Structure 1
Amino acid sequence: MHAIFVTIKIKPGFADQFREASFGDSQGSVRDEPGCFRFDILEDKSDPNTFYLYEVYADGEAHMDAHRNAPHYKKWRETVQDWFDGDIQAIPMNTVFPSDEGWRAQKPGLLNW
């Protein structure tokens, strides 16, 4: 599986709006994209203007093509792009555990918010 860990710094005063706008992208990703197996939104405890995204996709194509062309991603990006404080940092990775089958088996549980 293809994973990505993203660090996003938000301008002061926009953390609440960023958090709210990001729910739609996260939920839409796991609900509507067959190749998305995880999309976590995390907030730094010591800096409420720093967020981390942990995303897992079947492969790079599911991330770079399907996800980035999805309506929920386009809406999110358009909404939040002016709130970024600097460049987004992204680290691409390969998952080790769970196995690919394990990721697939967990996906139905992600839809129970």
Structure 2
Amino acid sequence: MGLCDMCGRRIKGHLLPSSTVICRSCFGELQIVIAKLRAEGRAVEGLRIAREGFNETYTGGDYLIRDIPEELVNKALMRADKDGDSLRDVTVKAMQAYLTEKGGE
């Protein structure tokens, strides 16, 4: 299991020849971009295209954290839902608690 290089979703994966992991939702969009680049005679690098797509979608204060144990994420999601919070809220609270505990700002 991995994360789509284009949208960041957790997937089982579709591996392109350039070792790019793309979900089914993004695969069609990526193929369109690749076809356009080839028609223009430009070089095609699947990973670069996917990362550019990701960066266009997730810029600024959005962060992707990879390799968090799935069981931990699921438990956090269930607890957040029970408490009426989002996973973002839980993550921010955990970071604030960590900094307070460690004497950060």
Give the TM-score taking structure 1 as reference length. Answer: 0.26
Higher helix share goes to which structure? Answer: 2
More strand by share: 1
Higher RCO (C-alpha 8 Å, min separation 6): 1
